[in-house]
Amino acid sequence: MSAHHEDRIQHLLRQALPPVAAQPEPNHDLWPAVLRRLDQQPAAQPQSKWVWFDGALLAALAVMIAAFPVSIPLLLYYL
Amino acid sequence: MSNGSSGVLASEFDLLDQFRQGDLDAFEALYRLHQRAVYGWILRIVRNPSAAEDLTVETFWRIYQARARFDASRLFEPWARRIATRAALDWLRTRRSDGELTDDVLAAQATSSTDPGVTAEIRAKTAQAFARLPPGLRIAAILAVVEQQPHKEVAEALGISVTAVKLRVFRALRLLRKDLERQGITP
């Protein structure tokens, strides 16, 4: 592509998509939205995963102890 | 750390240090200092005020999540711009690229000083063709060509070299030209 063509395309592009104003500002204060986002996201996913996983582990442990009471001393040894 | 009775933090360096430790007040102070620049940067890429607001929130959320990785010896704004660019790129990738013009682009075209040699139809087709370009090329071209941001800043924001920016701009313009030629417009 020649320099002339490149200049022409650049000119067309600037005509099609005029530059944004120098100092654009949001219509309102976004800080409350940032705070809401911080409150929502952090631990939501990991927490729910681990709660489920911890529950399953505890249930498995309870079943194992009920089925094999002799394993209790062994478990205590490893804890 | 505080400066006088107002409790204003002494310098941005202290602010950044506190921010890295998760201090929410320091984060808010940084937000107040830089939100306009971040919003403006995003708006220049996505050209949609409502999406730019959402992405500004998303960017500051990402900034807070990544605070431990921030190198306090470096400037905050280029780092924020890089995160903002990534958020904007993610947004562009999820958008349909059918070249449909948004009201904001049409309004901007209507209010800007236009070259009488370029008809409204050509402007519309150029904008549509541009919207069909891959997002990575689009960002480089819009920042470097339309917004005339320094190549070094664009490179930092995209996490690539200045040469790669120039290459992306060149590829974007070449693809745009081919697309326009297919539509019967010879630039």
Give domain limits for chain A.
Answer: 52-79
Quote the pLDDT of residue A52: 73
Binary contact (B187, A9; C-beta < 8 A): yes
Mean pLDDT of chain B: 86
CA distances from A54 to A41, A51, A59, A69 (A): 21, 5, 9, 21
pLDDT at A45: 47
The helix (run of H) or strand (run of E) holding residue B2 is strand B2-3
For B83-131, what is each residue's pLDDT tens digit? 999 999 999 998 865 555 565 655 665 566 667 677 888 888 899 999 9
Residue A39 has pLDDT above 70, yes or no: yes
Instruction: Report whether pLDDT(B2) > 80.
Output: no
Task: Write out chain B residues lying below 8 Å of A12, CB-based.
Answer: 118, 122-123, 126, 176, 180, 187
Of B102 and B42, more confident: B42
Q: Cα(B141)–Cα(B170) distance, rounded to whole angstroms?
A: 8
Domain ranges in chain B are: 8-97, 99-187
Burial class (CB in 10 A: 0-12, 13-18, 19+), B6: exposed
CATH architecture of B8-97: Orthogonal Bundle (1.10)
pLDDT tier, B15 (very low <50, low <70, confident <90, very high otherwise): confident
- Kindly determine whether residue A8 and residue B187, on different chains, have CB atoms separated by under 8 Å: yes
Domain B99-187 architecture: Orthogonal Bundle (1.10)
In angstroms, rounded to a whole number, what is the distance separating the alpha carbons of residues B85 and B79?
A: 10
Task: Tell me which residues of chain B, numbers 54 to 93, contact chain A at a CB-CB cutoff of 8 Å.
Answer: 56-58, 60-61, 64
Residue B144 · residue B169 · CB < 8 Å: yes
At what angle are helices B49-65 and A31-40 packed, to 10 degrees? 50
